[in-house]
Chain A
Amino acid sequence: MRSTIPLSVAAFLFAAAFSGAGQSRAIPRTADGKPDLSGIWQVLDNSLDGNIEPHAASYGVHGGQGAIVDPPDGKIPYLPSALAKRQENYKNRAKDPVAYCFKPGVPRITYIPFPFQITQTSKMIQITYEFVHNYRSIYPNGSEHLPGIDFFNGDSRAHWEGDTLVVDVADFNDDPQHPTWFDSTGNYHSDALHVVERWTRTSPDTMVYRATMEDPKVFSRPWTIEVLLYRHQEPNFRIMEYECQMFKEKLVREGKGNNLKVVEGDIR
């Protein structure tokens, strides 16, 4: 008897601790019962913006295992005819559109190393990005894609599947002079890109972001990435501003008598 009492106490404490942990993992919900995705989020794996495929480190790029969960080899299933363009992009990777302040496109904008804030209502979810005041409006209202309008960051229509926000992103920009890339090594797509995102808040502080890309002009089959997003918990953390063209302008704007240089000309 003496030995069973501590055992049952231990079992009780274990159960209490377990259920307590379970409660603390419950995700917040909005008034309509949907998962509340609002907050400030960011990827921790900053190697993905350098290269979304598995890669060793190179100058300015963290080594990383990539984000592609399908196909199993972690590589983008390029059509043989599309590989040459990817190699050309790699040689010209200094001309990464993001380095010239263009909108990063989807899904790249999710894993560039900048935070973003989700603002959630029942009719519209806005994602506001620190990177060059990008924002996306996501409509979970049953609406169809807009005909005849192209977007750098796509046109986003959403619905809920259980606790997952599924976003269908289409109508990507088809201007070959101003492409969007998946990363800074030149992994690319055509205007036929179609992305299906799946946003699942898995705990108060984490969200799994999956995106499946299909583009019959460039890929032999659909492929899927999975990225873990973390919620910023620092007190007072906020979205700042990254207006990158100002950094490009700095040299020529010195001494021109303009008052904007005060913003970036002085280390304060």
Chain B
Amino acid sequence: MRRILRVVTIIVGLAMVLAAGWWDAQMLASQARGQRGGAGGPPPPPAGPVVRGPDGKPDFTGYWISATKTNINNGRGGIINPDTGAADGKIPYNAEWEAKAADTTKNHMFDEPYAHCLPSGVPTNFGIQMGFQAVQDKNAIVFAWDTAGSTRIIYLDNRKHVPASIRLYQGDSIGHWEGDTLVVDTTSQAAGWWDANGAVHSDATHVVEKFTPKDSNTIFYEAVVEDPIALARPMTVTDNFRRNLTVPAGFRNRPTGYEQTETACIEGEQDINLYTESGGGFAKDRPPAADAPPGSVTAPAPRGGGRGRGGPPQ
């Protein structure tokens, strides 16, 4: 039953998302600890030069931490204010989508994609999930996130984008190098959220990201986000990714250090329990369907994790 501990961890993680401000503080503290090499651990070596692969290009392979932006629109989401150049801007919504986002925050928090274990999209994934690992070879850079276990593949072979009619949660990402900067063009992204607080976007986004390594432990990140349906003008989101130097207790005696472990974001289970008719989710006044999975009907829906902030509609 050790897996249960993992599930509890995830539920706790989701609950933490509910308390955005507190969560921010925790992550900042965690990152501060990370800079010191973890509680009780030796201090990490100072940052060295940019790590490079056999082809001389920067090699991002490793474990990274991004800033947590559960609410991207509170002035701390890394959005550039075009008037001042400071990273304290807000989403430049047009009037219609400003209202739509406000309505989502007020009435539709149960739809938060993250609460359904769905991939969060670009650049959202960097803001609302905990650390991620990057694995880079000649074909692609692959990101995999610790919470919800999302993955994202950035192809590096100058391929074409997928046909414009296709929509993907993570979009279709193609990257190329401009000097030491990885430039990634993402199209075909499905409609989704830019944060965990109702900042909805349309399915017409176009995102150009730049990943620029500053030293062995830092990547400067900039994403120019276009959404001609939802935004009055493009917005620029910035961040600094820091190499995750935290070594949790379970890894301290291992010479190979930290590893990112599997996350089962209770795939399907929460949604089937809480949302589908066959699982008796919303439709509690209806008899369960014959194909309801074991345990999903008789057990009351657990409170808390996976449900999003608002819970299922009454």
CA distance A210 to B2 in the complex (A): 29
Per a CB cutoff under 8 Å, which of A125, A239, A256 touches B313? A256
Interface residues of A in 227-268 (CB under 8 A from B): 235-236, 238-241, 243-246, 248-249, 251-253, 256-260, 262-263, 268
A42-50, A64-72, A142-150 - interface stretch? A142-150
Which residues from chain A contact B6 at a C-beta distance below 8 Å? 149-150
Interface residues of B in 140-172 (CB under 8 A from A): 140, 142, 144, 149-151, 153, 155, 159-160, 162, 165-170, 172
Which residues from chain B contact A147 at a C-beta distance below 8 Å? 250
Given A128-B144, A238-B153, CB of A121 within 8 Å of CB of B137 = yes
Given A141-B256, A149-B250, CB of A178 within 8 Å of CB of B3 = yes
A97 to chain B, nearest CB (A): 9
Which residues from chain B contact A238 at a C-beta distance below 8 Å? 153, 155, 159, 162, 172
Check if B118 sits within 8 Å of A243, measured CB to CB. yes
Check if B255 sits within 8 Å of A133, measured CB to CB. no
CA distance A146 to B259 in the complex (A): 10
Check if A248 sits within 8 Å of B268, measured CB to CB. yes
Given A256-B313, A259-B104, A259-B191, CB of A245 within 8 Å of CB of B272 = yes
Which residues from chain A contact B276 at a C-beta distance below 8 Å? 248-249, 251-252
Check if B61 sits within 8 Å of A121, measured CB to CB. yes
Per a CB cutoff under 8 Å, which of A148, A149, A248 touches B271? A248
Given A148-B2, A249-B271, A268-B165, CB of A137 within 8 Å of CB of B133 = yes
The closest CB in chain B to the CB of A144 belongs to: B254
CA distance A124 to B294 in the complex (A): 37
Interface residues of A in 119-153 (CB under 8 A from B): 119-121, 123-126, 128, 132-137, 139, 141-144, 146-153
Check if A132 sits within 8 Å of B111, measured CB to CB. no
Which residues from chain A contact B119 at a C-beta distance below 8 Å? 133, 241, 243
Given A258-B111, A263-B191, CB of A248 within 8 Å of CB of B256 = no
Check if B142 sits within 8 Å of A117, measured CB to CB. yes
Check if A239 sits within 8 Å of B250, measured CB to CB. no
Indicate whether A38 reaches chain B with its CB closer than 8 angstroms.
yes
Given A252-B276, A260-B113, CB of A137 within 8 Å of CB of B259 = yes
Check if B160 sits within 8 Å of A236, measured CB to CB. yes
Check if B267 sits within 8 Å of A245, measured CB to CB. yes
Which residues from chain A contact B133 at a C-beta distance below 8 Å? 124, 126, 137
Check if A103 sits within 8 Å of B264, measured CB to CB. yes
CA distance A178 to B268 in the complex (A): 11
CA distance A141 to B257 in the complex (A): 11
CA distance A260 to B111 in the complex (A): 7
Check if A153 sits within 8 Å of B262, measured CB to CB. yes
Indicate whether B108 reaches chain A with its CB closer than 8 angstroms.
yes
Indicate whether B291 reaches chain A with its CB closer than 8 angstroms.
yes
A230 to chain B, nearest CB (A): 17
Check if A239 sits within 8 Å of B192, measured CB to CB. no
The closest CB in chain A to the CB of B138 belongs to: A38
A107 to chain B, nearest CB (A): 16
Q: Which of A147, A148, A258 has the most CB of B within 10 A?
A: A258
Indicate whether B32 reaches chain A with its CB closer than 8 angstroms.
no
B131 to chain A, nearest CB (A): 14
Indicate whether B295 reaches chain A with its CB closer than 8 angstroms.
yes
The closest CB in chain A to the CB of B145 belongs to: A133
Which residues from chain A contact B138 at a C-beta distance below 8 Å? 38
CA distance A245 to B133 in the complex (A): 24
Size of B's binding interface in residues, CB under 8 A:
72
Indicate whether B281 reaches chain A with its CB closer than 8 angstroms.
yes
Check if B264 sits within 8 Å of A245, measured CB to CB. no
Per a CB cutoff under 8 Å, which of A103, A142, A268 touches B267? A103
The closest CB in chain B to the CB of A37 belongs to: B137
Which residues from chain A contact B4 at a C-beta distance below 8 Å? 175
Given A117-B153, A238-B153, A259-B200, CB of A174 within 8 Å of CB of B167 = no
Check if B272 sits within 8 Å of A257, measured CB to CB. no
Check if B203 sits within 8 Å of A252, measured CB to CB. no
A179-222: CB near B (< 8 Å → 1, else 0) gives 00000000000000000000000000000000000000000000
Indicate whether A224 reaches chain B with its CB closer than 8 angstroms.
no
Check if B168 sits within 8 Å of A240, measured CB to CB. yes
Which residues from chain B contact A133 at a C-beta distance below 8 Å? 119, 149-151
Per a CB cutoff under 8 Å, which of A117, A241, A244 touches B168? A241
Check if A257 sits within 8 Å of B108, measured CB to CB. yes
Interface residues of A in 146-165 (CB under 8 A from B): 146-153
Check if B191 sits within 8 Å of A260, measured CB to CB. yes
Query: What is A's interface to B at a CB cutoff of 8 Å?
Result: 30-31, 38-39, 94-95, 100-103, 117, 119-121, 123-126, 128, 132-137, 139, 141-144, 146-153, 173-175, 177-178, 235-236, 238-241, 243-246, 248-249, 251-253, 256-260, 262-263, 268
Those 7 A-B pairs whose CB atoms lie nearest each other, nearest first:
A101-B268, A258-B111, A31-B54, A126-B135, A245-B268, A143-B256, A263-B190
In the assembled complex, 13 residue pairs joining A and B whose CB atoms fall closer than 8 Å, in A order, are A101-B268, A124-B133, A133-B119, A148-B250, A149-B6, A178-B3, A236-B162, A241-B169, A243-B118, A249-B275, A260-B192, A262-B167, A268-B165
